[in-house]
Amino acid sequence: MDMIRGGVTAAKGFEAAGAETGVKYKDRKDMAVIYSQVPCRQAGVFTSNVVKAAPVLWDKNVIDYSPFVQAVVINSGIANACTGVLGYECCKKTVECAAKELDIPVDSVLVASTGVIGMQIPMEKITAGIEKLAGMKSSELEAGTMAAEAIMTTDTVSKEAAIRFEIDGKTVTVGGMCKGSGMIHPNMCTMLGFITTDIAISKELLQDALSTDVKDTFNMISVDGDTSTNDTLIVLANGMAGNEEIISKDDNYYKFLEALHIIDETLAKKMAGDGEGATALFETKVIHAGSKEDARVLSKSVICSSLTKAAIFGHDANWGRILCALGYSGVKFDPENIELFFEGKSGRMQIYKDGAAVDYSEEEATKILSEPEVRVLVDMKMGEYEACAWGCDLTYDYVKINADYRS
Amino acid sequence: MDMIRGGVTAAKGFEAAGAETGVKYKDRKDMAVIYSQVPCRQAGVFTSNVVKAAPVLWDKNVIDYSPFVQAVVINSGIANACTGVLGYECCKKTVECAAKELDIPVDSVLVASTGVIGMQIPMEKITAGIEKLAGMKSSELEAGTMAAEAIMTTDTVSKEAAIRFEIDGKTVTVGGMCKGSGMIHPNMCTMLGFITTDIAISKELLQDALSTDVKDTFNMISVDGDTSTNDTLIVLANGMAGNEEIISKDDNYYKFLEALHIIDETLAKKMAGDGEGATALFETKVIHAGSKEDARVLSKSVICSSLTKAAIFGHDANWGRILCALGYSGVKFDPENIELFFEGKSGRMQIYKDGAAVDYSEEEATKILSEPEVRVLVDMKMGEYEACAWGCDLTYDYVKINADYRS
């Protein structure tokens, strides 16, 4: 498997575009389209929030019941959530406009929004935007990058990843993009993520692969503990790689799952590391847990702890907060029996054992905690399960960004 | 019922003291003692964190098995958590020293600590501190205040409350103090809280009253979602009011429960409003929920949302974040059917109805959100249960305090 340059246009037959349309922002791209030259199998996972944005309600239907999908229209700046009947009407008009401009069926168009909750989308700007995007779309890698830039809100960098591998002599590509920086605590999947692939695979197995993999990737990141109203992760597979269609969980399925996992994990980590105001990616790996679920809950509890996140920002080896966060996670364990390490470029450093701190160097610990990727390793010594979760530090800038996000 | 001045020395027969002892801080009080002239019935609730500080382990035993309690020794600055065997030894020595100085049985002494996790307590300073406190203790209201000041860590104000009422012609007093500012998300009870009363009541009913009431008071506040290793709430009742001992849930019991509730709620709100870095108390009341538990979960989800807390700091009426936090709470509801209000000194202001924003004045909303107590009212229109939760805003200073707490 080889990581390659590119995003949603890396796989055969996919086109994209990103453009300034003035829906919300001035002087920056705020609408994107993804288009496949041929019909795609579709799969999706969505927010578990009871309050679901209009596009989420719309897409769930399309993912479940449409025979195929051929395009996605995305806008940033306005989430189209808590917008009542008008919000759902907006999705309908968006899709009708895109179907006309791209000459594809109305029920083959997905729509996604991200941004401020509660504000109505100016429909005429969306319509004009779709016309613009339809004229611009291309299969160049740069077009994918422009789309990735157009879906950003408080993100500081665009987020793409692509991978290439072979199945039965055919080259298969999986590429994706995502956005997300605040209100990130996905439960089912992340803010907005789009993955395209030219693999031929049945719709059932595509959904199965996606639903399986998000549990260890997008669902294991958190920026602020707030599960969004808009979380959406879509995979489109157009079959243009020319492999024999995958219809059972054979070796080829697991090869695809491995590639999908690498793309999902790469994108998820990019999102966590670019959390609002973040200066560091904060990873916690829990090993030797009693169950997979325990490992997930423990690692996520640590990366979600506001106090631990603030300590990471201060490069302060305040490991007691990590112990505390493990302790209130809901998982039962004996604090006397676990071990704690920091991991940096210079190697692994033990911090805690037998119920108390070991004799470690504060200076060395501060050095490790000053790296752009801070890693904590927790050995539960209870079983054989492990999990990894990713977050970021809690900074002044997080507060600044969110104290006045709407203006 | 009359609120009166005072704290732990408001009730008959209770003495206290607070002093500088150099256990952790310089030039400020960091040890306190509470003492009753006669033996007390005791009740307590403690952290649900798996990682429990040594004093919590010690006190659980004393609350359950000692025939009576007569003193509490408290230190601030070092939590005596994650300190292994040495930490428990420290509790033992503290209690032995206090018993000797105060001439009371060893098993009648409780001990409580708050501060940095993982650091060992310098025992000789504790011993010297106890001697000092034993010589200073007094039943003056000021002595209670000095104790309340001595248990502060990042608190900006000391927290006391007292109330007086009559039972069968006898005057009964309930007074208390607490501390807590960071790592506040009590689950069973809060950081450190101590309530003294001269009522005569059976041990079982005292514990019952406490366990019942914390669910709607201390367990309904959160500063940062981190459930501490040290959460402790103790009630001591010495019977000196001279009322006939309460041994059943009669009118007198409910009168006491009402007084206890007022003290608990007053102290809990003081703690939330003095959250680390906070500029405002943030209250969310949920009415017409389908069950009491739903009402609690919904209101707590809102006051725990980092994004909502940051918006409150910015006086930004970003109500979408409130809807979002209700939505991911785990409680099922129809977002189209609920209503949302802000409440300020100038009255109640509707924000959201029928699935979308109502036509409200942003200027008026900003004014309400600039008050020192920000109140959100959520009408679920599903049943007859209600609950209230208290938190605070998320500010630069929260990050500042916690990025470098240990130094």
pLDDT tens-digit readout, A82-124: 898 999 999 999 999 999 999 999 999 999 999 888 899 999 9
Based on the number of CB atoms within 10 Å of its own CB, is B338 exposed (0-12), middle (13-18) or buried (19 or more)?
Answer: buried
Which pLDDT belongs to residue A208? 95
Least reliable range by pLDDT among A233-237, B95-99, B199-203, B400-404: B400-404
Distance of CA B360 to the CA centre of its chain: 36
Which pLDDT belongs to residue B188? 39
d(CA B47, CA B50): 8
Which pLDDT belongs to residue A47? 85
d(CA B283, CA A5): 49
Which pLDDT belongs to residue A21? 97
In chain A, how many H helices and how many E strands? 11, 15
Segment B43-77, tens digit of pLDDT: 998 888 888 899 999 999 999 999 999 999 999 99
Segment A379-401, tens digit of pLDDT: 999 999 999 999 999 998 888 88
How far apart are the CA of A140 and the nearest CA of chain B, in angstroms?
A: 37
Which pLDDT belongs to residue B387? 94
Q: What is the pLDDT averaged over residues B84-107? A: 96
Q: What is the mean pLDDT of chain A?
A: 92
Check CB contact of A359 with chain B, cutoff 8 Å: no
Coil, strand, or helix at residue A19? Answer: strand
Closest listed residue to residue B50, CA positions, set A93, A401, A328: A328
Check CB contact of A344 with chain B, cutoff 8 Å: no
Confidence of residue A189 (pLDDT cuts 50, 70, 90): very low
Check CB contact of A85 with chain B, cutoff 8 Å: yes
Q: Using CB atoms, which residue from B116, B187, B310 is nearest to A320?
A: B116
d(CA A382, CA B216): 36
In this predicted structure, the answer to whether residue A66 has a pLDDT above a threshold of 70 is yes
pLDDT more than 90, % of chain B = 74
d(CA A333, CA A301): 14
Segment A279-292, tens digit of pLDDT: 999 999 999 999 99
Residue A93's H or E segment, with its range, is helix A84-102
**Contact between chains at A117 and B321 (C-beta distance less than 8 A):** yes
Q: Using CB atoms, which residue from B50, B116, B307 is nearest to A402?
A: B307
Confidence of residue A405 (pLDDT cuts 50, 70, 90): low
Segment B135-177, tens digit of pLDDT: 999 999 999 999 999 999 888 899 999 999 999 999 999 999 9
- Contacts made by residues A22-28, CB under 8 angstroms, sequence distance 24+: A22/A125, A23/A75, A23/A76, A23/A77, A23/A78, A23/A121, A23/A122, A23/A125, A23/A126, A23/A129, A24/A75, A24/A76, A24/A77, A24/A78, A24/A115, A24/A116, A25/A76, A25/A77
| Lookup: tokens for B303 | 């006051």
Report which of residues A404 and B75 the model is more confident about.
B75
Q: What is the pLDDT averaged over residues A121-138? A: 97
Strand partners of residue B377: B285, B341
Contacting A residues, span 134-163, partner chain B, CB-CB under 8 Å: none
Segment B183-194, tens digit of pLDDT: 666 553 347 889
In this predicted structure, the answer to whether residue A204 has a pLDDT above a threshold of 90 is yes
Check CB contact of A319 with chain B, cutoff 8 Å: yes
Confidence of residue A190 (pLDDT cuts 50, 70, 90): very low
How far apart are the CA of A387 and the nearest CA of chain B, in angstroms?
A: 20
In sequence order, which residues have a C-beta less than 8 Å from that of residue A37 and are 6 or more positions away? A13, A14, A15, A238, A240
Q: Are B167 and B152 in contact (CB under 8 A)?
A: no
**Contact between chains at A402 and B326 (C-beta distance less than 8 A):** no
Segment A249-279, tens digit of pLDDT: 999 999 999 999 999 999 989 988 888 888 9
pLDDT more than 70, % of chain B = 97
Which pLDDT belongs to residue A36? 96
**Contact between chains at B118 and A323 (C-beta distance less than 8 A):** yes
Amino acid letter, residue A186: P
Segment B329-360, tens digit of pLDDT: 989 999 999 999 999 888 899 999 999 899 99
Segment A320-365, tens digit of pLDDT: 899 989 998 989 999 999 999 999 888 899 999 998 899 999 999 9
Check CB contact of B327 with chain A, cutoff 8 Å: yes
In sequence order, which residues have a C-beta less than 8 Å from that of residue A96 and are 6 or more positions away? A106
d(CA A186, CA A390): 12
Strands A2-4 and B2-4: unpaired
Check CB contact of A355 with chain B, cutoff 8 Å: yes
DSSP tag of A188: S
Which pLDDT belongs to residue B405? 57
**Contact between chains at A405 and B354 (C-beta distance less than 8 A):** no
In this predicted structure, the answer to whether residue A200 has a pLDDT above a threshold of 70 is yes
Segments in B113-249 forming alpha helices (H): 123-136, 141-150, 203-214
Which pLDDT belongs to residue A231? 83
Closest listed residue to residue B330, CA positions, set B306, B301, B289, B354: B301
Amino acid letter, residue A21: T
Q: Are A401 and A308 in contact (CB under 8 A)?
A: no
pLDDT more than 70, % of chain A = 97
How far apart are the CA of B87 and the nearest CA of chain A, in angstroms?
A: 9
Minimal-distance CA residue of chain B relative to A184: B307
How far apart are the CA of A102 and the nearest CA of chain B, in angstroms?
A: 32
Segment A145-177, tens digit of pLDDT: 999 999 998 888 999 999 999 999 999 999 999
Residue B349's H or E segment, with its range, is strand B347-353
Q: Is A190 a catalytic residue?
A: yes
Check CB contact of A117 with chain B, cutoff 8 Å: yes
Interface mutation vs chain B, best among A51, A222, A300, A362, most B CBs within 10 Å: A51
Contacting B residues, span 228-257, partner chain A, CB-CB under 8 Å: 228-229
In this predicted structure, the answer to whether residue B29 has a pLDDT above a threshold of 60 is yes
Rg (CA), chain B: 22
Check CB contact of B350 with chain A, cutoff 8 Å: no
**Contact between chains at A402 and B355 (C-beta distance less than 8 A):** no
Q: What is the mean pLDDT of chain B?
A: 92
Segment A75-84, tens digit of pLDDT: 999 999 989 8
Distance of CA B26 to the CA centre of its chain: 26
Segment B298-317, tens digit of pLDDT: 999 999 998 899 999 999 88
Q: Using CB atoms, which residue from A79, A305, A310 is nearest to B403?
A: A310
DSSP tag of B335: G
Q: What is the pLDDT averaged over residues B119-141? A: 96
Confidence of residue A29 (pLDDT cuts 50, 70, 90): very high
In sequence order, which residues have a C-beta less than 8 Å from that of residue B211 and are 6 or more positions away? B43, B45
